[in-house]
Amino acid sequence: MLCLILLGGITVKAQTVVRNGNTFTQTSKRKAKEAFMTTPYTYVAADGNKYPIYLSGHGKYFIIRKSKKTGKEWRQYLPNVNKELEKSSK
């Protein structure tokens, strides 16, 4: 009995599918990915590579790096750049 009560409390989030002719499109309730914009700044890493600096929707500066091993892209946030740009804007 207790198991049924506990299992009844679990909510299931099913995917929503919309049919348009022979095409089925999944629509998700998840948040959209955070938007970001390019800045006029560049970042030179210790290895000598230059990267454009981006500004996230939350006001944090970052660069996009690519893993040599897997090829996946990831964000490296730059807190020191945030501090320097905050100083210069005051």
4-40 pLDDT, tens digit each:
444 444 445 556 777 787 777 777 666 556 678 899 9
Q: Write down the pLDDT at residue 5.
A: 46
- pLDDT score, position 1: 52
**Using only C-alpha atoms, what is the Rg of the chain?**
22
Q: Classify residue 5: in a domain, yes or no.
A: no
Over the range 10-42, which residues count as b (16 or more CB within 10 Å of their CB) and which as e?
eeeeeeeeeeeeeeeeeeeeeeeeeebeeeebe
pLDDT of residue 88 exceeding 70: yes
- What pTM, to 2 d.p., does this model score? 0.60
Query: Which residue range forms the structural domain that includes residue 73?
Result: 36-89
Question: Two tokens at 65?
Answer: 């790096």
Residue 55 located in a structural domain:
yes
Domain presence at residue 26:
no
In a domain? residue 75: yes
The whole-number average pLDDT for the span 59-81 is 93
Q: Give the residue ranges of DSSP H helices in 1-90.
A: 2-8, 79-89
- Provide the domain count of the chain: 1
Give a yes or no: residue 73 inside a domain: yes
Which pLDDT score, from 0 to 100, does residue 32 have?
57
Query: Is 9 inside a domain boundary?
Result: no
